[in-house]
Structure 1
Amino acid sequence: MVEPDVPPGRPGRLKVFLGAAPGVGKTYRMLDEARRRAERGTDVVVAYAECHQRRHTLDKLDGLEILSRTRRTYRGGVFEEMDLDAVLERAPQVALVDEFAHSNVPGGRNAKRWQDIEELLAAGIDVVTAVNVQHLESLKDVVEKITKVPQQETVPDDVVRRAHQIELVDMPAEALRRRMAHGDIYAPEKVDAALANYFRVGNLTALRELALRWVADQVDEALQKYRFEHGIGGVWETRERVVVALTGGPEGETIIRRAARIADRSVGGDLLAVHIARSDGLAAGASAAALARQRALVESLGGSYHSVVGDEVPTALIEFARAENATQLVLGTSSRSRLERFLTGRGIGETAVAMSEDIDVHMVTHERAGGGRLLPSRRRTLSTARLIAGPVAGLVLPVALTFLLDQMRGSLNVTSEALLFLLAVVGVACVGGVVSAVVASVTASLLLNYWFFPPVGAFTTNLNSVLATAVFAVVAGTVAAVVDRSLRLSRRSARAAAEAETLSSLAGSIVRGDRAIPALLERTRETFGMDSAELTEEPVSDGGSVVQVPVGERAHLVLRGRSLPSSERKVLTAFAAHVTVAVERARLAEVAAEVEPVKAADRMRTALLAAVSHDLRTPLAAGWAAIASLRSRDVDFSDEDRDELLATADESMARLGRLIDNLLDMSRLQAGALKLQLRATALEEVLPMALDSLPSEAPATDIQCLDTVPAVLADPPLLERVVANLLSNAARHTPPGHAVLLTASALDDRVEVRIIDRGPGLPVEDRERAFVPFQRLGDTDNTTGVGLGLALARGLTEAMSGTLTPEDTPGGGLTMVLSLPAASLRN
């Protein structure tokens, strides 16, 4: 079957093969995919494929069109790169481009290969590529902690997420190690080192889990997007998601642990805790301190905490659970007493069960269950059941009381009977509100007049009876109105407290700076139960349920989903104010970031002036003094004295030259003007010159294992400067009678050089300061230079794609670890 041509204007589609580690077979799968497409008639070319001389992978190239590469000369070396212009001119339907995170050799349009791929996609060319999980920007530091190997090349996660398809290339750790042992990944001389370091079972297992989780998260995002676009509200049980409802009460920790055990029953289960911050049910009696403790507990168990404002607590819970595609909802059993349940009707848990449909609801018992708690009512004050029950009680309760008092006639006087009727009216007001109280007061007044005011059994019209009946009705109605108003104010106060609690929590996160703007928008979306929340520069004109409020002077907060009542719009305005603060903080951070280099440069100039004013004068003065003495005709120097003065002048000028060279190199590094000529460089090539630069009184250097490591990719003069500065630093701190030790070893595709001294060492907290220019930690004699040696060594090392890190020397001292890429794997 021949695939149709790419429609004009349609961007190309990206497919990514993601692997957990080198050697799992990404390039093999990519080439296999190309062969299948070519067999179906698709126009496929191999724009760039890195086979690493693996025979099975090379076999897959047979029969595929391979485009020629462009060759670039850089720092003395010749490198091959994908010819982007050739691919665009060829304009295939599908292009295979390996090593998604690769950094291009300077000379092309783009610094990164993923930027080349974006150009191909924009031209309508479909691209198939491959990348390892360690090259994802968000996982770079995690992988470095696991493998102890820094990652120099990364690709932004967002670029990979935009792929039309992401396919995981998976392989068990033991299977990958067997491939390594059979020589299917690296050359035989590198197998043992690789298996003992990067390719350890623990490392590979951890990398594999990272890859599986990252892909699972992308699949989950795609599923949520699909459900939203197709209006699917039902739960799809792709994996267990357990939502636990928190009240801020003392039962919270019990419920959280129960929910965590439910989530742990399935691999990959998620735990989400939600607190409904509003004026009924779950918000009643909420303790901010208890919620903070419960949030910490949830996060310690690997869950996430959410706060939502909702009108109806059961509805808010179910809507949140459905939005998160939750499979189970965990609530505590009701803390209300039997009397409260009788008066207020069905509770939150029972209502949630009735509304849950395909979500399983767990009611967890706790020590507070049934203990009783007065619950403020909902925004409209009364439930439907109470709105119906109130007027009915206003009619039935006075009649029942009349029947009871009639049976007790003679035991009470009219005053006591009237007070009992007044109590009944107040009770009806508490149940059904002021309207029900009016019905009850009118009914009670008529019954009092007919059955209890003389003449009994007839409505009396004398002035006293009519006045008493009227006063009773007014008093009963007034008391009922006051009671109803008090209840309303109490509920409004609780509502305001709940909203203030939510806003306080949000404000705290902004002040602490632990919420980026995207996370803040997500918090706003979930709090108001909306489908999406975003910042736009201009107001939107879309129809439907769109809510938008201004954020600062140039942005608008736009929420899509449901219509918000006026009370929630007020809260949203407060949320928008917090978003404004976050946006302003981000803007100020950008301004501060722009100012910081200027401040750093100013500090550098100040330190440089201080250094020049003293440290450069010292060797200059010594040299001048020696030369002036030699030129003096007043003293007749002996040959021995003359040689000593010449040696002093020579040493002073050499020291002055080294200081000036360091200053110039540091200034070129800071300005980005240092030119590198990278080539394969043997350590034996630069070591003699580095040793020659050491002072004659420096301790001896013990050199070991240089002949067992490959050449490194470096600039020889700069590498010699780095090694010389490190040796000089080690010699300065090595006590008499000890030698400086220099060793080297190969690790994966890098070479590590260790320069070891037996000095006092450096505390951990001071180690990074040692690499700051013009720092001389531990030197108090002002004779050791301007403090640029280690700063320059690290700067030059990083310019050559290396790292320089300090470690403790076993038995005392400091070890400088210089790590550089091996030239044999980079050429």
Structure 2
Amino acid sequence: MGRGKLRIYLGAAPGVGKTYAMLSEAHRRVERGTDCVVAFVEHHDRPRTEVMLHGLEQIRRREIEYRSAVFTEMDVDAVLERAPAVALVDELAHTNVPGSRNAKRWQDVEELLQAGIDVISTVNIQHLESLGDVVESITGVRQRETVPDEVVRRADQLELVDMSPQALRRRMAHGNIYKPDRIDASLSNYFRPGNLTALRELALLWVADRVDEYLQQYRGEHNIRTTWQARERIVVGLTGGPEGRTLIRRASRMAAKGSGSEILAVYIARSDGLTSASPKELTVQRTLVEDLGGTFHHVIGDDIPSALLEFARGVNATQIVLGSSRRKAWQYVFGPGVGATVARESGPDLDVHIVTHEEAAKGRGLPIARGARLGRARIIWGWLVGVGGPALLTLLLATLDSGPGLANDVLLFLFLTVGAALIGGLLPALASAAVGSMLLNYWFTPPPPPPARPGPGDKVAQGLFLAGGGAGGGGGAR
């Protein structure tokens, strides 16, 4: 027999209607023919809740004597013997009377689940173990009965039972929650509007995080890599430089504009360890992002743009924040920067923000903007075609007994120059024009080598090569 399923009604505060909702679900299941019993439900003398118990089978309770008094608890053995399809167990965080089968009711529920019985239960947000200190600071009341967060997180179904503070206070004033002698004190203390609003926010945020876990699990199981923009997640790409603090603060301001936004700072290190950032600076940035409510992540990846995009899509991010490049102009010969590559390959599901900072203008001139739009692979192929192509063409033509003629030789070399321009942009095209003109002049312009002194016609040909390379390079980088 497989493990039973757990459904929990999570309340934002006492009296919002968790038990009522649970009993309503029980009636719906009984009407559908499901074998559903009440293992333990406490109606707290609330008339409407007590009425909902009518028509449902109730398992007898176990009586336990403790300190000259008799208490009743759920009889786990009786429920197991009855073996229903579904059991209702109220107040999951309840502490059992000493002498009971288990210390906590959630442990009783675990036994029922292990026996293959589905369980429907209830719990209030203030009873979650991780929120004990927060709830005490808000309400001034320390919750003695708690349930581990993991027990609630493992629930197969989690439903929030919510109610506005004003509506809940009206229910209290009408006597639908506590007896008349407790109403005034409750409204003046625990049930103050501020307390109820804060508890409600805690419940909404906790459930939102649980829903996000469900979403991530579903995306992983179905191998979904595209971003679902159900919630704003901002990934900050860090290099370990001082500009990282500026990026984190900028991302924090962006997150503040959208409720529920999340910040994830990530530093990507190469696996060979040849390039690494200052550990001290990364520590400062980790502290800063955590102080602002975000998280810090350390990722290993040799291809930084690909690793950054993979991380962003893995966490279902919606935005990426990067700093403007600190590279020098000559470094763009080897390809575009990380920011340009990420922006080009991010696709329509990720917004990329390039943030300027003080470090961007230090020690470099303006980059070649058009060339920066090309990928690294195109730049490399452009140089291979522009420099290697003329050399290979020269070897090929030199092996021919009778070449196609100088005019056709020029056209062949010019074709390589234009190809280098279209593939790699301006710089490979200029290099191709220079190399091609020199090879033409040395090998194919009479008289044969040693090279003749260039004449006016040769200078015109060289000028045409350079002009063609420059024009093609400008068009090829668009």
Instruction: Note whether the superposition's TM-score is higher than 0.5.
Output: yes
TM-score (norm 2): 0.77
Secondary structure in structure 2 of the residue aligned to 1:16 = strand
Q: Does the 8 Å contact 2:269/2:276 carry over to 1?
A: no
Where does 1:335-734 land on structure 2 (aligned, <5 Å)? 335-341=326-332, 343-357=333-347, 358-372=349-363, 383-385=376-378, 387-392=380-385, 394=387, 457-459=448-450
Q: How much has 1:396 moved relative to structure 2? A: 8.2
- The residue type paired with residue 223 of structure 1 is L
Conserved? CA contact 1:337–1:371, under 8 Å: no
Residue 271 of structure 2 contacts residue 300 of structure 2 at CA under 8 Å; is this kept in 1?
Answer: no
Residues 1:298 and 2:292 are matched in the alignment: no
Shift in Å, 1:40: 1.2
Structure showing greater Rg: 1
Q: Does 1:184 align with 2:176?
A: yes
Tell me whether 1:221 sits opposite 2:216 in the alignment.
no
Is 1:316 the counterpart of 2:335 in the alignment?
Answer: no
Please tell me whether the aligned partners of residues 69 and 80 of structure 1 are also in contact (alpha carbons under 8 angstroms): yes
Could you tell me which of 52, 55, 59 is aligned with 2:47?
55
Q: Deviations over 1:385-419 (max 9, x none)?
A: 45434445545899xxxxxxxxxxxxxxxxxxxxx
Structure 1 residues 427-449: Cα deviation after superposition (integer angstroms, max 9, x where no partner): xxxxxxxxx9xxx9xx99x97x9
> 80, 89, 95: which one pairs with 2:72?
80
CA contact (8 A) 2:334 2:380 kept: no
SS at match of 1:353: helix
Cα gap change, 1:396/1:69 in structure 2, threshold over 3 Å: closer, same or farther?
Answer: closer
- Please name the residue that 1:745 is paired with: none
Distance 1:313 1:234 in 2: 19
For these two proteins, the number of residue pairs brought into alignment is 399
Cα deviation, 1:98-147, whole Å, max 9, x if unaligned, reads 01111111233211111111111111111100011121111122222222
Structure 1: gaps (5+ residues): 1-8, 375-381, 399-435, 461-827
Q: Which runs of 5+ in 2 are unaligned?
A: 366-374, 392-427, 452-478
Shift of 1:42: 1.0
Partners in 1 of 2:16 and 2:234 — Cα distance?
34
State the alpha-carbon separation in 2 of the partners of residues 147 and 332 from structure 1: 43
Name the residue aligned to 2:203: 211
Q: Alpha-carbon deviation of 1:284?
A: 6.3
Q: Give, in whole Å, the separation in 2 of the partners of 1:172 and 1:45.
A: 31
Does the 8 A contact of 1:340 with 1:372 survive in 2? no
2:6 equivalent among 9, 14, 35: 14
CA displacement at 1:43 relative to structure 2: 1.2
Q: Which amino acid aligns with 1:268?
A: G
Q: Quote the residue 1:657 is aligned against.
A: none
| Counterpart Cα distance in 2 of 1:165 and 1:384 | 49
- Counterparts of 1:250 and 1:397 in 2: how far apart (Å)? 45
Alpha-carbon distance change, 137 to 373 in structure 1, aligned in 2, over 3 angstroms = farther
The 10-residue stretch of structure 1 (311-320 or 327-336) with the greater mean CA deviation from structure 2? 327-336
Match of 2:193 among 201, 207, 211: 201
Amino acid at match of 2:381: I
CA RMSD of aligned residues (A): 3.1
Deviation at 1:308, TM superposition (A): 1.1
The answer on whether the counterparts of 1:136 and 1:154 sit within 8 Å (CA) in structure 2 is yes
2:122 aligned residue: 130
- Residue of structure 2 equivalent to 1:584: none
Q: Conserved in 2, the CA contact under 8 Å of 1:24 and 1:171?
A: yes
Query: Which structure would you say has the larger RCO, counting Cα contacts within 8 Å and 6 or more residues apart?
Result: 2
The counterpart of 2:26, out of the listed 34, 38, 52, is 34
Q: What CA distance in whole angstroms lies between the structure 1 residues aligned with 2:98 and 2:388?
A: 90
Distance 1:120 1:295 in 2: 44
Residue 252 of structure 2, aligned match among 260, 264, 273: 260
> What is the distance in 2 between the residues matched to 1:232 and 1:396?
43
Change (3 A) 1:279 1:62: closer
TM-superposed CA distance for 1:291, in Å, is 2.6
Q: CA deviation at 1:324?
A: 0.5
Could you tell me how far apart the structure 1 residues matched to 2:384 and 2:351 are? 37
> Partner of 1:676 in structure 2?
none
AA at the equivalent of 2:358? E
Q: TM-score, normalised by structure 1?
A: 0.45
> What secondary structure does 1:369 align onto?
helix
User: How far apart in 1 are the matches of 2:233 and 2:219?
Assistant: 16
Q: Secondary structure at the match of 2:122?
A: strand
